[in-house]
Structure 1
Amino acid sequence: MIYLRLFTAFMKIGFTSFGGMSMIPVIMQEMKVNHWMTAEDLTNLIAIAEMTPGPLGINCATFAGMQTADVLGGIAAVMGVLMPAYTLTLGVAVCFAKFRGNDIMSCMLNVIKPICIAMILAVILDLMQENYFPDARIDWFGCGIGVVMFYLILKKNWSVPKVITLAAVFGIVGYGVLGIG
């Protein structure tokens, strides 16, 4: 049953990632393995999840579930991605007093942080290859959008929603209206 598969896949995603951008490689792998989405669908999934308000994991689960099996699929995926967080939060809340000030816990977090950063960098490289170098060629228009958006965030301190909106407008006009690419 597709709903159970979505639930278990997103429950696995919830248990094996640490939220936010670190979920994307795991989501991408599950979608590819189960043949639920194409590479283009995955790129759209990430863009839509980043543009919409709310946690990235829930947005990705909603979009992926609905894309795969309509509204019930979206509900199954969201329930799956929430189950680990709920379960772990409940467990940690019960044991929190014991972990406060624990050296082992601090060491574990110091190991987890660089792993999350590496996973995010891997996703960035994968998305760059998919978006800026499709079919072993350089998409100069896409690269230009990326450079401009990077500049606006880094040097002009624009907010991420503003930059995403502007990039979307450039993409729609460039690729949709003008037919670049």
Structure 2
Amino acid sequence: MKRKTLNLSGRLFSLEKPAVMGIMNITPDSFYSGSRLSDTDSIRTRAREIVEEGGTLIDVGAYSSRSNAENISAQEEMERLRPALQLLRDEFAEVPVSIDTFRADVAKMCVEEYGVAIINDISGGQLDADMYQTVAALQVPYILMHMRGTPATMQSLTSYTDIAVDI
């Protein structure tokens, strides 16, 4: 029989019905300008919206993968994330949080310091050689995404011969 739950920070999360993951961009330059959050009031408001609209998970990202977005350091990514993750842990503890990062050290900090339950990696482990080992050590669910190139080049690398085979 297929397992229909995920262990998210010690709590079973049912997959019996579809789950909605709300997106929270803690960046000044995300794809959609209306989603850019930068202060605790806007973060709180967005988290409340996600929950009120039926969201059962919150995915938080602080590194923009938009074309021509600035490449920020892991330290800056973590500095952007800390206030949001603290607020979510303090005020929305019942909502599992996913961290959208391709960096193993950022993922580790988020899980260990803030109890983040899922790692969502747009690079599928291709941009940080330590990601798979980190995920295994942390024992958290991992969303393995696909992209070609880097966040700066991926939008120009969209031609596939056979998308299923090429991926």
Name the TM-score class by shorter chain: under 0.3
Q: Which has the higher helix share?
A: 1
Q: Give the TM-score of the pair, scaled to structure 1.
A: 0.24
Q: Which has the higher strand share?
A: 2
Larger Rg: 1
Q: Relative contact order (C-alpha < 8 Å, sep 6+): which is higher?
A: 1
